[in-house]
A and B are shown apart, each in its own frame.
Chain A
Amino acid sequence: MIRINLLPAEYRRGNRIPPKVLAATFGSALAVAASIGWFGVVYFGELGDLERHDTAVTAELTQKKTKASYYDKLEVNRVDYAMRVQTIQDIGKSRRVWSKFMDEVVDVVNNSGDSERHLAWFEGVTVKTDKKNRAATVTLPGAVQGAEMSKVANLHEDIQRTPFYADVATKTAPGGKYAEDKDRVPPDSFEFQLQMQFKPMVAEPPKKKPAANPKPAGNGNK
């Protein structure tokens, strides 16, 4: 049997959107709208806000970085200047005033003209300064008039009382040998060699520790 629906198309029951479909469509549309809305909120809302915040923070950082870089340059200058000042001070401190030393030696040897205690003279003087620690070594080969060893000791005693002696680390002990020069009056003298080692003017940098001995290779079968 053939059934013919003669109702206009809009009134035909079979052509209307079924309510289930309509509900599903509506529901889907809601879900789509909600999900797109969610995305919109996240993308354009949160992310947009953050991007704007980021732009502001970036601008602030750029501005502050310029000033911070100025500070860095200042700091480099400060450290550099401080080092230069220190170097100059170190150079200044590493110097010994030899004219003062020699004047004091001349004073002590002259002993204000008192030749009873000692009458000494020197063959010469040699001064050498260590380039690293600036410690100087002074060698004075000399003699005292007379055959008495005690006069050498007197001279040593007087040297120990001089201002420069505070800087002396070590000194040779009094000693020497008798000498006679018949061309001189009196001919007797006691020859000695006085050597003084001055304290270093510059502290030596600490020596590097030797590298630890490598362990002997084991067989690994412990």
Chain B
Amino acid sequence: MANKMTEKQKMMAVGGVALGICLVAAGGVYWASGLIEELEQTIAQKKTDIAACEQKIAKIPATEQEVVILRENLGEYVKILPEEQGLEDFVKMLYQFEQSSGIQTINFQPGRPARKNDKQVERFERIEYQYELTATLWQFLKFINSIENYERLVAITDYSIAHLNEREPILRDGDTVHTIKLTMETYTYNPNSSGQEVTIPDYNDKKDQLREEIVKRMQPIRIDKYEHRGPRGRRDIFVDPREREGQAEGAPVEEQRAILEKFLGEMQRLKAVSQKLAKTDLTIFDQFTFERELKEGIAKLEEQVAEVNGKQQITSPQVRQRWIKEVLEPLADMKAAGGGKRDGETRDPYLSGDEMQQLVDSMTQLLGEGDLQSASDRYEAIAQRLLVPESDPRYSMAVTAKALHVRVRTAMEFSQLELKIQGVVVNHDSGRAGLLLNGNVFEEGEYISDELMLRRVEEEQVWFVFRGLTLIKTL
């Protein structure tokens, strides 16, 4: 057949086949170019994605730090909003507040968590409590103050104070009882309500590294607290203070004035002690003596003030005004000033080395003068501040002071012994001397009792050894 093809036909056939193959190859190239273009676009997209990923990756260290800090801080923050089981503790605590304040609960209704959806647990759930109670104004203030100062965040939203529907006012601790309605709310925090905590590799190491930053960023949540200081002699503003016709309240004014004068006298004394204490040239012993005197005086006066207030002995408006201004307020100020505690006083619980030296010198001097009682008093006034640990460099000084005190006490106890020396025999040549003591004869070196030995007898003095300490008794 082929042999029968003409030259032209052969050329056409070869050319045609070649053209066909070329066309297929060109088609293949076109197709491959399409693939290349597509692949290039894919690669470009992937490179863009990689760049985006790299941007994110670059932020990982900073974000990790931020998450560690926030996670640690959140742990602290949520302490004010414990989880649901914390509510039982809260209710128990409310009962304790009731007991300590003295209120009487009539009705207590805890509300249900205010969920938007019954099935879905909110992250922060608000719970409301309704209280109905009877209390004096001061009991009520103490109660709500305890709630407001509680570690869990509780907000009092609504309340009302009204008179009891009684003909005669009911009194509790001398104060009028009111009926009070109170609504308060708290929140529970459900950490698992949504979101999952990502696992950060080497979390504890990172936390340790960020310790300073965590503390620095631990912004205290602004939860205002307040320290209610009780009635402080103030009257209940929900009681008409005017006297009832024909019923003069309280003791006669003269008697009230006498009570006031008594307190003013004591206040004057305490102020004088406080002024002495403010002087700069005080010895450490004077300082401790005055401080103790002032603190004891304030404590005693406070007890007496509480008694007067409790019995409502000061009712006259004029006397009451002086009572508040001249007794209650200065006493509160004196107490707030720390009972004479000096500003900038060191927190070191022990005496300084100089002060200890001063104590030792002073005790030695008093011992030399024979004033045993003063020496002992000085030591005992500040004995608690001499209990320095052995590792402290002041320890040896404290031991010296204690040894001196032991000597003082021994000497004092010796002086209390009944030693009636009725005669002495002194032998200058040879042999031992002796004495007639409490009707008995003792020679030198003889024990008078288990703790007392006769050491030497001279014409004008006798040497004893009492509990290891040599003491001389002059005749």
Contact = CB atoms under 8 A, between A and B. Distances in A.
B245 A89 contact: no
A120 B226 contact: no
B141 A103 contact: yes
B234 A85 contact: no
Interface residues of B, number: 101
Contacts of B266: none
27 contacts: A20-B11, A24-B14, A28-B14, A39-B28, A54-B43, A64-B49, A67-B56, A68-B52, A71-B56, A74-B60, A74-B67, A78-B70, A88-B80, A89-B222, A92-B80, A96-B155, A99-B141, A103-B228, A110-B234, A110-B237, A110-B324, A113-B323, A122-B238, A124-B238, A128-B157, A128-B158, A185-B245
Tell me if B's interface is mostly helix, strand, loop or mixed: helix
A190 B141 CA distance: 27
Given A42-B33, A71-B59, A123-B238, A113 B11 contact: no
A184 B244 contact: yes
Interface in A2-45: 15, 18, 20-21, 24-25, 27-29, 31-32, 34-36, 38-39, 42-43
A183 B195 CA distance: 68
B241 A121 contact: yes
A77 B46 CA distance: 27
A126 interface: yes
Nearest to A93: B222
Contact of B224 (A50, A67, A95): A95
Given A57-B46, A105-B237, A67 B53 contact: yes
Contacts of A121: 237-241
Given A88-B221, A182-B245, A184-B240, A47 B36 contact: yes
A209 to B, nearest CB: 25
Interface string B148-163: 1000010111111111
Given A50-B39, A61-B46, A112-B324, A77 B195 contact: yes
Interface of B: 3, 7, 10-11, 14-15, 17-19, 21-22, 24-26, 28-29, 32-33, 35-36, 39-40, 42-43, 46-47, 49-50, 52-54, 56-57, 59-60, 63-64, 66-67, 70-71, 73-74, 77-78, 80-81, 123-124, 137, 141, 144-145, 148, 153, 155-163, 178, 187, 189, 194-198, 200, 219, 221-226, 228-229, 234-235, 237-245, 317, 320-325, 329
